[in-house]
Amino acid sequence: MNSLRRRLIILLVASIIGVVGLATTVAIKVLGGPSPELIMGPVARQVQFMVQLVPGHVPGTGDAPLTVRDSPADGLEDRKHTRVLNDILRRDGLDLHAIVSHKPGSPGMVASVALPDMRWLIVDVPDFDPPRDVWLVLAGWITLIALGATAVSVYFTSVLVRPLEMLEAAVSKIGSDGLLAQLPEEGSAEVRATAHALNQLSSRLRAAMESRMRLVAAAGHDLRTPMTRMRLRAEFLDEERDKWLHDLDELDRIADSAIRLVREEVNQDAVEPLDLEKMVRDIEAEMVSLGHAVSIGPLDKVSVRAGALGLRRALRNLIVNAATHGKACTIALAATDRRAVLTISDNGPGIPPDLINKAFEPFFRVDPGRQQFIPGAGLGLAIAKEIIERYGGTVTLENRRGGGLAQTVVFKAV
């Protein structure tokens, strides 16, 4: 019942069936036949005349086509019509007693009038009730209206909620760059207006993103010229020369990392099935050759869909982060529930719980004083997260119970 579509359908169907039900009630009242007073009035007049024609009651009428029996007609007595008929007969001054009963096995009623000679005059009562099959027709009519109302409600509800569905579809297709997919501006006026507004929003977001990326790239690029001049001047310094060069190296790394982060958002390689187990082994061999303490744990054979260069860069950043800050790390890969789960566990001090959610922010450092004992600009995790989420994966950090940090990457297996 939480769905707007379902609630609208139920509202429309209930409204239409309610109106039809009211009209049907009126129709039943009309089709139900006249009241007993209207039926029994003419019958009383007919009885009055027919009693006078009973053989022996009026001379010369012995051959009249009348039905006279020694007992009342068979069938179940209708008390209401019997009472009404007797009241009319008494009101007309006839000292007669009548019994109205339903004909057994056939529609209609019959009136049995007691005669003075202990016989009964049988008089047919006109059948003003609607035909018996009219109720089947009425039931079919109501069923047809209910089905038609449901179909019409479903269609018009779909039309009404189409802008909302378009909005939901557009939001669900937001890419890793935070931009909306272009929507076709066609359909009803409301749908076109919604699509146009979403496309305008997407254009503005794209312009803002591109402006931000140009700003970061330009800043990183422009920093290199003054840093180069400062490096040349530092060569002529005798005192604190190493400190100057160390600070310049840090600025250079920050500029390069910022430019790489922008490039990751702009340059996206083709998505294809990749053998994740083979990629992990290749990266481990590369890290070992560079002197990092990296080891391999259990590795399952599993493939994922991603860009080869981007995913390799992201995993390298995570492994380098674990090997440098965590002293040493172990890589494990498991295939469970159609998912590829890569875990990188290190032996370092971990991250304080109140800071672990900020670890993926650009230029994040655990040390609030931003003292740098290990080279790096603090963008490795941010770049890795950007790449992994672009390909539909997730990356999380968790402190291990026995000490150290566990980086977990999850992809949908193919």
Write out pLDDT tens, residues 74-87: 888 888 888 888 88
Nearest to 143 by CA among 313, 237, 17, 232: 17
φ/ψ of 348, rounded to 5, equals -85, -170
How confident is the model over 164-186, as a mean pLDDT? 71
Amino acid identity of residue 81, one-letter, is H
Model confidence pTM above 0.75: no
pLDDT of residue 215: 59
Mean pLDDT for 5-27 is: 76
**Residue entry with tokens 């939901």:** 168
Could you tell me whether strands 329-336 and 394-399 are parallel, antiparallel, or unpaired per DSSP bridges?
unpaired
Q: Tell me the three state secondary structure of residue 197.
A: helix
What span, in angstroms and rounded, lies between the C-alpha atoms of 118 and 55?
A: 13
pLDDT band of residue 117 (cuts 50, 70, 90) is confident
| Averaged pLDDT, 24-30 | 68
Cα–Cα distance for residue pair 400/414, rounded to 1 Å: 29
Smallest CA-to-CA distance from 115 within 41, 37, 64, 50 is with 50
Please name the residues in contact with 244: beta carbons below 8 A apart, sequence gap of 6 or more: 230, 234, 237
Which pLDDT score, from 0 to 100, does residue 329 have?
Answer: 94
- Residue 332 confidence (pLDDT) above 90: yes
- Burial code of 328-359, b = ≥16 C-beta within 10 A, e = fewer? bbbbbbebeeeebbbbbbbbbebbeeeebeeb
| Cα separation, 371 vs 278, whole angstroms | 37
Percentage of the chain beyond pLDDT 90 is 16
Question: In the sheet where 97-102 sits, what is the strand order?
Answer: 67-69, 120-125, 109-114, 97-102
What is the rounded distance in angstroms from the CA atom of residue 207 to the CA atom of residue 213?
10
Phi-psi region of 403 (alpha: psi -120 to 50; beta: other; left: phi over 0): left
Model confidence band, residue 411 (pLDDT cutoffs 50, 70, 90): very high
Residue 65: what pLDDT? 53
End-to-end, the C-alpha distance of the chain in Å comes to 36
> Can you read off the two tokens belonging to residue 205?
């977001």
Span of 122-131, 289-298, 327-336, 382-391 with lowest mean pLDDT? 122-131
Q: What angle do CA 387, 392, 398 make, to 5 degrees?
A: 75
Query: Would you say residue 363 has pLDDT above 70?
Result: no
Task: With cut-offs at 50, 70 and 90, classify the pLDDT of residue 287.
Answer: very high
The amino acid sitting at 353 is P
Distance (Å, whole) CA 384 – CA 313: 7
224 secondary structure, DSSP code: H
Distance of CA 377 to the CA centre of its chain: 44
Helix (H, G, I), strand (E, B), or coil: what is residue 198? helix
| pLDDT exceeds cutoff 50 at 369 | no
Q: Copy the structure tokens of residue 192.
A: 């076109």
Beta bridge partners of 101: 77, 110
Place of tokens 């019997």: 82
Distance of CA 257 to the CA centre of its chain: 42
Assess whether pLDDT exceeds 60 at residue 377: no
Contacts of 339 (CB under 8 A, 6+ apart): 410, 411, 412, 413
Strand ranges (DSSP E) for 24-128? 67-69, 97-102, 109-114, 120-125
Q: Which has the minimum average pLDDT: 35-44, 123-132, 252-261, 295-304?
A: 252-261
